[in-house]
A and B are shown apart, each in its own frame.
Chain A
């Protein structure tokens, strides 16, 4: 009772608790573990609870050494300063999806932390299976029972007190999305103790589990070893709270990956705290092989240990749920009523189309005006730079490399933010799962889960957010296959290039050619997804997924997460994009000692390579190089090399500010009008450029050029997104793959049309 902040109750209420929570409760003084791990099934409301407990300060980062997104927050609570770590949702600790694989090592590395198991009261029986698994880890834990109100509305009244009594750990009813029950969670955290394992396994298994428990870091690992569920590839690992320190018998194990044996706390914590840590160590592999020999030695050879263990857990969870639930008259699940319309076999396809179109429309219609606004700001900045009394090279560097580069990066903010907000909303509302369900038949044909339809559709707008959205897929191999196929789908930046070139070379067939290009892009993407299936190996995942109940997500939380994700992307992709822009600027600007520009020299050197495509003119080859920054740059550089560049107009301070103001008004206006209308604005092709271009290449060459532009190296931002999600080697692979595919397809196109 000596919390310094609690001596004065008013101070405590002001400083100890999270916003809007009375922290001046007696529990304020009891200390609680400094790190809380939120564990629960997907969509259970873990993030909402973190947000409710911490008030604000939510952060997003990757789990060390992985690309798995983990949210965390620091909070000053009545019981001390706490870091809340929101682990990815999982149905079991033994899950094999990349997100699920983070769970066990995270918990294992931090045995004295608190496990906050968030349980969905509407799926109590199923969620308690995970709870029972967690009790076997022997870590201090509490259970936050979420959605009790919704369960009650469906006729199931869940009694937290009964559950607490049976489980032996604090159980608190919360409403995570509105933040009720937070002070109770804080109070429960300070009285959390390590639970006793409470699943009773069949006697023949129990004996084996006891033997394995002697060498395992905890009971969960012992059971997993017997069930053949041990994550063998992962370093298993951690110090054990040994209840029988004298009986350790695994000192002989000689292994690379070692498991330090844990010392007991909990019931015997006083003596345990002083007892030396037992140094017996055992590796995950040793444990797994011990589990295998126990399996082989089971008295009843026909007994399947995994099924028997799963069944014992489910029975225990079911009994717990039965005891804690009073079932009354049940109203109809409102989600089912909605599903009857949305998932109707006749209406469904329209719902699917409408869902995809809405996502696409809002993502790009809401962000486009702001991209245009940022473009105007960029132009004004470049204009101001013109007026500075600097040498020409410095002016060029500032406007051509610095402003251009920062502009390229910042231009992604509106798109990414809008996309994350919309996807976050649809995901939490339960809509995305339905879209995936409706698209599943279609996507199964190309060997992908239904969810993959979203990245593919978003890719029509911009490849970068599409690659980011592959996170929605459970399996890493699926994510990779989709992400590496996406660059072939024509994004909106490629459309102006097609329009210009088609108008210049095949004016009478422009529409047909452009449609053809879109079809080619999709065909190549789908064929790529097929090809990568064999290249990257089959995934071991299952397409089965939950269709969560429809819910109105907390909008502020969704927006906050969208901003955090956008920021995380800029932080990791900004640097590479800037470097690429500066490199292209240098290429275009710098001169060789002889007087020729670096750009022309490089382009002329590359030109023979492109002759088989009908693109022998160095000016066209040259225009493709800066196109690697962004495909629409191809037009600008074609204009530069064929007609000479347009000079940036110098701007005064006042006129510049006026221009920015006008652009801002336009953007606001555009956002509002985009809510109900969607006009894809394409600049009218430049007649003079078209005329000059048609002299430089044949029709066949022009089609080859369009096909090449469609398929070659995705823009630097796409590459940065691939690098962020999958690493540098896959980014390099993507560069090589797209170049090869583009070259091959353009060659074919030239042969056919040339």
Chain B
């Protein structure tokens, strides 16, 4: 990361794009506390969080997903869902109710009692996203390449779930993706990274016409 400054507004759906190796995942690792910045800081609702542990950052209302779905494979789909709720002290009854509601909406309900390891790649990615919604209140959700290699039907479910949670619960999203069609559909503003630097920011139309972006990412 090099002199990078990005500000995500409350309730915003922000896209983060850029060529491979531009630092998108590193940026998410910094925000979620897995990496510590050597200089500069990360602020969340005015509070500096870059010195906090990943678990404390999560407790503060930030969740994330990983590029390759990382689930608790030996646990069932439902058990995977319960964990984020348990860590914030939600009762088993309330956690189960919300988990079932979310799983049904994302069409994973019938798999509730199956071990997570048997899910397909797309289902795993979907579960990884839905699991994050178990944290309440969730204020910022960092999605790292959530649509990568996912079947179009599941992608559609993901998009609808993200839009619903943004609309109904006011969750802000930072979506890292190479799927520009989806990013255009989902996100009102887009930030473009190149070699660890922010090279452009604005609506999809604005960044798509930015010569720097065309030169370094979109090609022209």
Chain A bound to chain B: no
List chain A positions with a Cβ less than 8 A from chain B. Answer: none
